[in-house]
């Protein structure tokens, strides 16, 4: 136990912050990228250069349903994601006996579009809560990291001595460690409500996994009683679905004046066949199911929403937290601001990681040999911070350079990401740490600055179509990549300057090899 409560909280903040910081940094970076996952997908699938309109074009619903009627007439479930302000294509999915089939169609012409095989922005979305690990272990690990983040936030608030006095304080001209501490505090304090919301809502989303006993008890209470007198019902003749023309007319009539995001037709061929129309969630924070309309696909009559009455207050609160985390309600400006706050979270975590090693550096350099723990943390910091960005850049490069017809293309892109990340860690372990930081920062700078040139060289035909349709996605994405590369270049230059100014008596060859 430490001398005072504040000392104990400082110890807790240090260790809860550090122990999973490498995973947490990756979660924050990929989670931040997820705010623009649809845009990243469109960039990584340049073949989808179709005009975007604020609402789905009128014929999108008709063409989507007609495509499914032609290609999957006997499938039990149809899922349609309509084009909207973030995508110009209709995304269709249907279930066969053995597998799920998907298709992307031009909503105006019903032509199927076959973009290159890539996970696109979905990779970042899934990575940030599954970590490319098998279900359910990735989700459990991400949940533990979220819990550690929550503990680190609360203990950090208590530990921060001059919370209000240093509220807007960042002193870049002071000693490096002091500036780093100011930066960490500023990043932490200014967006604190966002971090508390994002870490708590992350735990709420998967709370049925982390604390399953409540659901298990509810399932036992609500399971229907089976008695000996209840005969097994023999399946009757499958009820007749409404003719396709009537389903189409029903959907078009009920969706008139509404902005729809999705249409789902489920259990076709059974008495439970229904049609759900999901409205665009433009108002309200909640991801509530009250944003949908349901109809019977057999009689056409309106149906009540499933299980909504059973949700209660707790369910509604959970919906709001879910909605806040996913930010589906956010317009482009709000989403950009969320992106900035996510980046602040990554900067807060990264600066904390670097501070841990820098605070101990002087003491470690005095020893005959730095401790193993210090060496490990130093290298993991480099691989987590710069290595992750290098891995993301390699994935973007692979997206543009891999032949589109190659088998298992999307898996190759993911492997490129993972191998680049692994190589970054290997490089960090094999090189003197000071030089390793510099080299990886320059590599990241070159990779990101090269992406706009690569884009022009490999995707110019689709960029032209996209820009002529008034869509600024390609230039904006390339600009962000260029700014990222410039930032890495600036940091590399500052570090090189700082390293060259350090006196020979402070840095000896032996300690620099550590």
By the criterion CB under 8 A, which residues form the site for other proteins? 165, 167-172, 186, 190-191, 193-194, 283-286, 320, 324, 329-331, 333-334, 337-338, 340-341, 344
Residue closer to other proteins (CB basis): 22 or 338: 338
- 10 Å CB burial of residue 337 (0-12, 13-18, 19+) is middle
Give 95 or 322: the residue with its C-beta nearer to other proteins: 322
Please compute Rg for the chain using Cα positions.
27
Find the shortest distance in angstroms from Cβ 161 to other proteins: 15
**Shortest CB 88 distance to other proteins, Å:** 24
Which contiguous run of DSSP H or E holds residue 105? strand 100-105
Give me the least distance between CB of 54 and other proteins, in Å please: 17
Of 181 and 191, nearer to other proteins (C-beta) is: 191
Tell which residue, 78, 44, 77, has the closest CA to residue 473: 44
Q: 126 vs 38, 129, 181, 291, CA distance in Å?
A: 13, 6, 32, 24
Residues 390, 427: Cα–Cα separation, whole Å: 12
Q: Are 199 and 146 in contact (CB under 8 A)?
A: yes
* Closest-CA residue to 186 (of 205, 169, 210): 169
User: Which CB, 192 or 446, lies closer to other proteins?
Assistant: 192
* Cβ atoms 489, 456 nearer than 8 A: no
* 191 membership: H or E segment, kind and range: none
Least Å from the CB of residue 198 to other proteins = 12
Residues 6+ apart with CB under 8 A from 499: 434, 438, 507
Residues 328 and 287: beta-carbon distance below 8 Å: yes
- Of 163, 179, 185, 156, whose CA–CA distance to 11 is shortest? 156
The DSSP bridge pattern shows strands 78-81 and 260-266 to be antiparallel
CB of 406 to other proteins, least distance (A): 42
Minimum distance, C-beta of residue 330 to other proteins, in the bound complex (Å): 8
Please say whether the beta carbons of 40 and 396 come within 8 A: no
Task: For residue 295, give the DSSP letter.
Answer: E
Q: Which is nearer to other proteins, 75 or 286 (CB)?
A: 286
What is the nearest approach in angstroms of other proteins to the Cβ of residue 163?
A: 12
Task: Give the shortest CB-337-to-other proteins separation in angstroms.
Answer: 5
Contact 280, 247 (CB under 8 A): no
Is 195 or 295 the residue whose CB approaches other proteins more closely? 195
Q: Which is nearer to other proteins, 18 or 341 (CB)?
A: 341
DSSP-assigned letters across all residues of 415-478: HHHHHHHHHHHHHHHHS-HHHHHHHHHHHHHHHHHHHHHHHHHHHHHHHHHHHHTT--HHHHHH
What contacts 336, CB < 8 A, 6 or more positions away? none
Partners of 276 in the β-ladder: 264, 294
User: 193 or 224, CB closer to other proteins?
Assistant: 193
Closest CB to other proteins among residues 65, 188: 188
CB of 336 to other proteins, least distance (A): 9
Compute the distance between CA of residue 283 and CA of residue 291 in angstroms, rounded to an integer.
10
Asked if 148 contacts 138 with a C-beta cutoff of 8 angstroms, the reply is: no
Q: How far is the CB of 173 from other proteins (least distance, A)?
A: 8
Shortest distance in whole angstroms from residue 324 CB to other proteins = 7
Q: Which helix (DSSP H) or strand (DSSP E) does residue 393 occupy?
A: helix 388-401
Q: How far is the CB of 335 from other proteins (least distance, A)?
A: 9
Q: Which is nearer to other proteins, 154 or 327 (CB)?
A: 327
Cβ closest to other proteins, residue 165 vs residue 501 = 165
Question: In the complex with other proteins, which residue's Cβ is closer, 94 or 339?
Answer: 339
């Amino acid at each position: 136990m430490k001398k005072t409560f504040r000392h104990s909280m400082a110890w807790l903040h240090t260790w809860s912050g550090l122990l999973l910081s490498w995973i947490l940094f990756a979660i924050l970076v990929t989670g931040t990228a997820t705010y623009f996952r649809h845009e990243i997908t469109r960039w990584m699938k340049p073949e989808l250069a179709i005009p975007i309109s604020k609402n789905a074009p009128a014929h999108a619903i008709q063409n989507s349903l007609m495509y499914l009627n032609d290609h999957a007439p006997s499938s039990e479930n149809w899922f349609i994601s309509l084009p909207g302000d973030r995508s110009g294509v209709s995304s269709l999915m249907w279930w066969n006996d053995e597998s799920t089939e998907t298709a992307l169609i031009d909503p105006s012409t019903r032509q199927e579009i076959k973009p290159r095989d890539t996970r696109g922005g979905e990779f970042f979305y899934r990575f940030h809560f599954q970590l490319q690990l098998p279900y359910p272990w990735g989700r459990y690990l991400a949940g533990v990291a979220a819990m550690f983040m929550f503990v680190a936030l609360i203990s950090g608030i208590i530990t921060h001595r001059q919370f209000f006095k240093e509220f807007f304080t960042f002193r870049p001209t002071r000693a490096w460690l002091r500036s780093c501490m100011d930066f960490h505090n500023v990043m932490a304090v200014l967006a604190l409500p966002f971090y508390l919301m994002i870490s708590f809502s992350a735990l709420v989303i998967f709370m049925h996994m982390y604390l399953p006993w409540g659901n298990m008890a509810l399932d036992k209470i609500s399971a229907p009683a089976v008695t000996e007198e209840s005969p097994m019902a023999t399946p009757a003749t499958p009820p007749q679905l409404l003719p396709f023309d009537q389903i189409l007319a029903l959907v078009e009539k009920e969706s008139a004046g509404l902005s729809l995001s999705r249409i789902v037709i489920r259990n076709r061929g059974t008495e439970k066949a229904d049609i759900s129309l999901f409205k665009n969630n433009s108002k309200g924070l909640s991801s509530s199911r009250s944003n949908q309309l349901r109809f019977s696909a057999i009689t056409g009559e309106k149906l009540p929403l499933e299980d909504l009455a059973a949700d209660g207050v707790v369910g509604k609160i959970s919906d709001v937290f879910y909605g806040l985390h996913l930010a589906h309600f956010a317009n482009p400006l709000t989403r950009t601001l969320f992106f900035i706050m996510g980046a602040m979270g990554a900067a807060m975590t990264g600066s904390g990681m670097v501070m841990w090693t820098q605070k101990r550096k002087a003491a470690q350099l005095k020893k005959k040999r730095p401790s193993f723990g210090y060496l490990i943390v130093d290298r993991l910091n480099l691989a987590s911070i710069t290595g992750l960005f290098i891995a993301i850049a390699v994935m973007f490069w692979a997206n543009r350079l891999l032949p589109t017809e190659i088998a298992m293309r999307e898996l190759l892109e993911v492997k490129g990401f993972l191998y680049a990340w692994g190589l970054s860690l290997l490089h960090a372990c094999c090189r003197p740490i000071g030089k390793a930081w510099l080299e990886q920062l320059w590599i990241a700078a070159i990779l990101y600055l090269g992406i706009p040139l690569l884009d022009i060289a490999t995707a110019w035909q689709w960029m032209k179509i996209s820009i002529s349709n008034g869509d600024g996605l390609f230039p904006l994405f390339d600009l962000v990549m260029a700014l990222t590369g410039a930032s890495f270049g600036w940091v590399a230059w500052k570090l090189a300057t700082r390293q060259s100014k350090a006196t020979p008596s402070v840095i000896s060859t032996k300690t620099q090899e550590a």
